[in-house]
Amino acid sequence: MLSKGIIAFAILSAFTASAQAATVCAWMIEANQPDQVREVDIWLQSDQDVSFLYKVGGKGIITDSGHMSSPGSGTYSLKAGKAERPWGFGATLDSAGKIDVSMELHKMPAMVTSDAPTPVLARYVFQRDVPATEKKPPATLAKKQCISLAAQ
């Protein structure tokens, strides 16, 4: 009788563990490139294998002369524990400015070609002022933002 209880508990524990939502962390790495180009890359890492639709928004890199951005979307799959860079962008930043980029993770659509709205599972925001005197980007946006995704 005791062994049946242990087996039932083990099955229930395995089911509960697999039903827990994945935690996905996001961070941005900034780097200076030649000709005063500031490159920004978004990195993601999950504690479980997970697939989602991502959408990148925000004004991008903002200067006195305007803003440059590269909004986009796509489907993506992460393997547990492996950090990956699904998005990157670079633009001239030759004076004071701002960085304003967001990434939303959405539930994977039933059909990849569908335009139907999908629920937002997580939203990450990367914003900061860039002073004119900045020579090297600080690690401010490299701090991981971790969010537990709703059950897919």
Instruction: For 119-145, write each residue's pLDDT tens digit.
Output: 999 999 999 999 999 989 999 999 999
In a domain, 6, yes or no: no
Tokens 């039933």 belong to 110
Single-letter amino acid code for the residue at 5 = G
Q: Which residues contact 134 (CB under 8 A, 6 or more apart)?
A: none
pLDDT at residue number 113: 81
**Where does the pLDDT of residue 151 fall: very low under 50, low under 70, confident under 90, or very high at 90 and above?**
low
Give strand ranges (E) for the chain: 23-33, 37-46, 50-63, 66-68, 72-78, 84-92, 97-106, 120-130, 145-148
Which CA distances in Å does 146 have to 27, 49, 59?
9, 15, 23
The enclosing domain of 61 has a CATH number of: 2.60.40.2420
Question: How many independent structural domains does the chain possess?
Answer: 1
